[in-house]
Amino acid sequence: MVKSSVLGYPRIGADREWKKALESFWSGKLEEEEFHSQLQEIRLNHLRKQQEKGIDFIPVNDFSYYDHILDTAAMFGIIPKRFAYEGGIVPLSVYYGVARGTKGAAASEMTKWFNTNYHYIVPELAGVSPVLNENKPLTAYREAKEKLGIEGKPVIVGPLTFLKLSKGYNISETDAWLDRLLPLYVQILQELAEEGVQWVQIDEPILVTKLSEADVQRLKTIYEAFAASVPNLNIMLQTYFESVENYRDIVALPVKGIGLDFVHGFSGNMQSIKALGFPADKVLGAGVIDGRGIWKASLRGKLELLEELAEFVTVERLIVQSSCSLLHVPVTAARETKLTSELKDSLAFAEEKLDELVLLTKAVSSNDVGIIDELEKCEVAIQALQLSEERNRSSIQHAVAAVSSQQPNRSQPFAERHAAQQAKWQLPLFPTTTIGSFPQSAEVRKARQLWRKDEWSNKQYTDFIREQIDIWIKLQEEIGLDVLVHGEFERTDMVEFFGEKLAGFAFTQNGWVQSYGSRCVKPPVIFGDVAFTGEMTVKETKYAQSLTQHPVKGMLTGPITIMNWSFVREDIPREQIAYQLAYALRQEVEALEQAGIGMIQVDEPAVREGLPLKEEEQADYLAWAVKAFRIATCTVQETTQIHTHMCYCEFHDMIDSIEAMDADVISIETSRSHGELIHSFELNTYKLGIGLGVYDIHSPRIPSVEEMTGMIERALRVLDPKLFWINPDCGLKTRGFEETVASLRNMVGATKIARNNH
Ligand code: GLN
Ligand code: ZN
């Protein structure tokens, strides 16, 4: 019989009860004992759900108190010295200290889990000697068995992936580190084998990236060591998010099963199997149900795919599974009550994916008409959405096709625009500005709530927003900034705000997914053709401009950022979605220009995160991402100044693409990689206007004038003074009033000194 398997389940719970428990515990409202029991309840519920649905291989040890990479590090006692950890099981205070920082010690770095929006805590290996202080997979296995009679499948982050994602060691020490970790892994597996565990899932997503010869060798060392020490334990070597790079080597490893992603790594993995076959002594974990997307699968198509795979692996050796952990999708679509039935019927979140897995598994091994009928149901839903008006806005499709077939160029090259803009705006050397948002005080949030609950009329709310704009325009003038902003008080979120005003978007009530720690996000759903339906930002911007002689920058979120921070439809390429968004934004850009706004910023902080994992696909992505930005911004007059802003990430290896966006001015976050970024500008001689953030807005600390003068001078060593702008490194919406004003005053002070020196 074919079996079904899940690679991991969302932790947060249908009501985000996991998040609430964590936050209550942190704030001292929940005692530790009660906290453990609440989390256990949540964990068991998730196992029960999978059991009831009939999943054969149910993952255990995928649950976490924060993050599974941090759990792995903690299990090995890999805790940075600054947390004064003294060995043994890591206490919760230390565990959360590493994740969130303590009074005396900064948190460990957090970074994106491959190309997802999940962030893990980066293990710091420097100065620690790993030991196994607790066999967590074993504890989780026992719990599932004792409480629910589940024969769980422990999930463990594999040694190669763990090492590659860790920091605090030199590449030349990799083998030494492997020597230290390997015996601990072996011990875990031996104890699991002694306990009678049947299957273990060892996650090695690093195998979808390019591996060096040395890493391939390490892989062999690791899995040969496992085979030698636990010959009877079935190991599923699990990969996901893309196709594997070294298929030949990987399928030759002495493990019982290989798990491959046939959704996000479909073409590569399929090619490898077809060209090289699949070993007869192994089980294939066929990841056919998308663990990252929110859409129902075409089960007929999936069945065909499984049948195709069965030409290379006999059916008994196939496992039908999710493409990756379901951590990346919301918990259940069943409770969405506000979506159209067409849309709702087309969604499959984690719970619905369990049904898909079970049904598909049954269908592979039976010809039962009932099952085949059941299978066809999803096709009806998929078809209905496909035929919906929202997916067939032919005027949009034609317009976007026309626009994207042309070269999206400004009317003049930068040098000429720059001269025209200088003549028009007469800005001083080193113009000062901010990134867009000002503090969203409790008062601002309260006002929005009242308005959303209809306790405030539109007029009351609009007046309130205007008052905030009044206050901040005056303040910006008084502080002495050159280019002002309206402050974004009317926006909760830079994507949601635009999504709510554009056609083609939907918003779920409960579609939350974990982003990092207890932080969850609820991405909008782009399900139809995106269309501009009316001005989105003109009123506030125009109002702000009416209050001052200084230029006020209009403020928009760019097409790629809107797309990368949403769940998107899968019936058309992402490139097309980006162009639709760009075309809609172009209309807003033009509306702003028409309304007399002469500087317009289109933020693209999320360009970098959409970068494909496969190097060979990156150039193509960057090319259309750049094109989308240009489509949105290219039609303005030469005197209209287009700004953009980028943050969150390392940009030093994509400066060419940033330059190709052809924005008149870019402001860029530098707080985390200032040195490197400056260095790459040295090599590149960036030729457009640029503001390197001169202070880090992520901390409440008020930077001094001297400090910022230092930053400015350093940047001016490599950048052309005539093109240099001075600004903080990101939006100020999370900061307090006092610190914001004080910091900006110092920034203007530092600018004056710089102007005198140059
Ligand atoms: N304009 C936005 C703001 O100032 C930019 C936010 C961002 O870069 N993430 O908040
Ligand atoms: Zn930013």
CA 294 to chain centre: 15
Ligand 1 contact via 697 beta carbon (within 6 Å): no
Q: Any binding-site annotation on 603?
A: yes
Ligand 1 contact via 184 beta carbon (within 6 Å): no
Give the separation between CA 263 and CA 266, rounded to whole angstroms: 5
Give the separation between CA 687 and CA 683, rounded to whole angstroms: 12
How far, in Å, are 17, 142, 201, 319 from residue 282 at the CA level? 39, 27, 14, 11
Nearest CA to ligand 1 atom 5: 731
E runs forming strands in 467-550: 502-506, 513-516, 519-521, 525-532
pLDDT grade, residue 607 (50/70/90)?
very high
Ligand 1 contact via 689 beta carbon (within 6 Å): no
Q: Any binding-site annotation on 565?
A: yes
Considering the chain, what is the average pLDDT of its residues? 95
- Residue 641's H or E segment, with its range, is strand 641-646
Nearest CA to ligand 1 atom 1: 436
Which pTM does this prediction carry?
0.96
Q: Is the ipTM of this complex over 0.95?
A: yes
pLDDT grade, residue 280 (50/70/90)?
very high
Please tell me the total number of residues recorded for the chain in this structure: 758
Is-catalytic flag, 652?
Answer: no
- pLDDT score of 67: 98
**Cβ distance 454 to 723 under 8 Å?**
no
- pLDDT score of 674: 52
How far, in Å, are 245, 311, 316 from residue 277 at the CA level? 15, 9, 16
pLDDT at 671 over 80: no
Q: Ligand 1 pocket check: which of 117, 433, 434, 435 to mutate, most ligand atoms within 8 Å of Cβ?
A: 435
Q: Pick from 465, 501, 467, 471: which is nearest to 484 by CA?
A: 471
Give the separation between CA 511 and CA 75, rounded to whole angstroms: 31
pLDDT at 88 over 70: yes
Q: How far is the CA of 732 from the centre of ligand 1 (A)?
A: 8
Nearest CA to ligand 1 atom 6: 731
Average pLDDT over residues 199-219: 97
Ligand 1 contact via 645 beta carbon (within 6 Å): yes
pLDDT grade, residue 115 (50/70/90)?
very high
- pLDDT score of 653: 82
Alpha-helix residue ranges (DSSP H) falling in 310-349: 341-344
Nearest CA to ligand 1 atom 4: 731
Residues 230-264 have pLDDT tens digits of: 999 999 999 999 999 999 999 999 999 999 999 99
- pLDDT score of 723: 95
Residues 689-745 have pLDDT tens digits of: 999 889 888 888 899 999 999 999 988 988 899 999 999 999 999 899 999 999 999
**Cβ distance 239 to 194 under 8 Å?**
no
Q: Any binding-site annotation on 707?
A: no
Average pLDDT over residues 391-402: 98
Ligand 1 contact via 551 beta carbon (within 6 Å): no
pLDDT at 672 over 60: no
As given in the structure block, the two tokens for residue 534 are: 């009316």
Q: How far is the CA of 187 from the centre of ligand 1 (A)?
A: 48
- pLDDT score of 561: 97
Ligand 1 contact via 730 beta carbon (within 6 Å): yes
Among 17-26, 327-336, 648-657, the minimum mean pLDDT is found in 648-657
Average pLDDT over residues 656-685: 79
Q: Any binding-site annotation on 669?
A: yes
- pLDDT score of 670: 73
- pLDDT score of 684: 63
**Cβ distance 365 to 1 under 8 Å?**
yes
